[in-house]
Amino acid sequence: MGNENMRFETVVLDLAGTTVVDDGLVELGFERAFDRVLPGDPGRAAAVEHVRATMGQSKIEVFRALADEATAQRLNQAFEQAYAELVEEGRCTPIPGAEKAVRELRERGLAVVFTTGFGRATADAVVGALGWRDLADAVLTPADAGRGRPAPDLNLTALLRTGAGSVDALVVVGDTESDAASGVAAGAGLVVGVLTGGRAEPALRAAGAQHVLGSVIQLPALIDAVIDGRR
């Protein structure tokens, strides 16, 4: 099916938890970072809980909510280093079927953009470790867009980068409430949640997901069904 027959033009896919197995890596990376920057700090447990609750959001903004600017920058730098170490340890793996799903979407004439709350160095480390540097049309971080999720900026930047004709032509897919909320804020024509990040379906739907899938591998079939009026 060619792009001229499609209602949708650009699919925006989150990385960790949506196309990349998280398996607690973001949390573990933060714990390593926190222990290096603030060893023995009594606020550690509350900080980890905050990171868990704000999963999907820009990491520097998450850290700014926990500490002053200088400490937040140190935490962010330490997090990127810690996450890179986890990637180098071979802990970064794709969601089963994710690459196949992306290739199917592109074969349908859709543009695909990866988005993340990670900084550029971390995002590049992830896609590099998976051999995905050329899999998507672009990989966007909050620094590329202006603001991270739940703001609409990443999705709107994806629209501009790929030349989509309208916000209604966007499909936004993610595993967190922040992903769904960002899709709604951008006016995306289709907002989809996935359960591979550990969030419950009611929470994703409450944040604006119109459909919730077990995995991103089901996305091409869902898009076909929506276009055909079956969903």
What pLDDT, in 10s, does the model give residues 158-168? 999 999 999 99
Question: Which letter does DSSP use for residue 95 in this model?
Answer: P
The answer to whether residue 206 scores a pLDDT higher than 90 is yes
- Residue 231: predicted pLDDT: 66
The answer to whether residue 38 scores a pLDDT higher than 50 is yes
Tell me what percent of the residues of the chain surpass a pLDDT of 70.
Answer: 97
Both tokens of 11, joined, read 């699919």
Both tokens of 13, joined, read 């896919």
Summarize pLDDT for 137-156 with one digit per residue, the tens.
Answer: 999 999 999 999 999 999 99
- Residue 2: predicted pLDDT: 39
Sheet (strand 138-140) strand order:
138-140, 111-115, 10-14, 170-174, 190-194, 211-213
- Residue 3: predicted pLDDT: 40
Both tokens of 67, joined, read 């500490």
Please say whether the beta carbons of 152 and 185 come within 8 A.
Answer: yes
Both tokens of 18, joined, read 């949506």
